Amino acid sequence: MAFSRTLLPGPRPDADQLTADMVGIGMRFAAAPNRHANIEDTLIHASEVGMGEDDLRVLSVLTTWFGVHHARVNADRLVRVLEQHPSRRVRAYWASIAAWQEKDRRLKRLVVGHEGEPVDLLSVGTDFQILRRGEDERFAGTAVRVPAGTLRDRAADVLSAELLIRQHAGYRNRVHMGPSWRSDLWTLLERDPDLRVAELARRAYCSFATAWQVAQDFGLIRRAQEETRVA
């Protein structure tokens, strides 16, 4: 059977698993971390909970996380998945995040792709709260209207890059190699060097050709290291 690439994440996990995934990528919630959580899947699922289910706590920590760690996100995959996302509120949130992080030009397509009037973060009372307190500076003039003080922004809610490097191998490899398909493939191979190429590509959401090339490179280095130990 021919290999068929997909970029879309699987179904959203249940609340406990999603919490473990969020903790795994460095968000501070009360749960044991899934240290192998896919970064982009987790970000997208967290934004669905935040925007679709009005979970302001999740949305607060997610927004803070992105402000700290956006440079380590595989923006190509994130953008391409969100361009197809069925929820206008989720797309509006990410368009706002991209506008806030305008210096990260990799995210520009999220802003350009947003159409229509801004959406209100709160189901009721947004106008009143903005008149009373003003707008959250991170979202001012973007696709989502957020009253100031609605989304908490505390650095202590997320792990620093130094701590996340120790916890999440995929994040560490993105720091080392850049936020690329290659770094994610390398992380998967470090966990299971015998993964078949098609399965490797499926788990990394990349093309078969990219997975094949990285598998060849990983195997070459692995053999060289073994020969060095023998010598």
Least confident of 30-34, 43-47, 81-85, 223-227: 223-227
Whose CA is closest to 55, among 151, 157, 179? 151
The pTM of the full predicted model, rounded to 2 decimals, is: 0.94
Q: How far apart are the first and last CA of the chain?
A: 42
Over residues 97-151, the pLDDT tens digits come to 999 999 999 999 999 878 889 999 999 999 999 999 999 999 999 999 999 999 9
Query: Does pLDDT of 179 surpass 60?
Result: yes
In angstroms, rounded to a whole number, what is the distance separating the alpha carbons of residues 43 and 111? 17
pLDDT digits (tens, 9 = 90+) for 78-112: 999 999 999 999 999 999 999 999 999 999 999 98
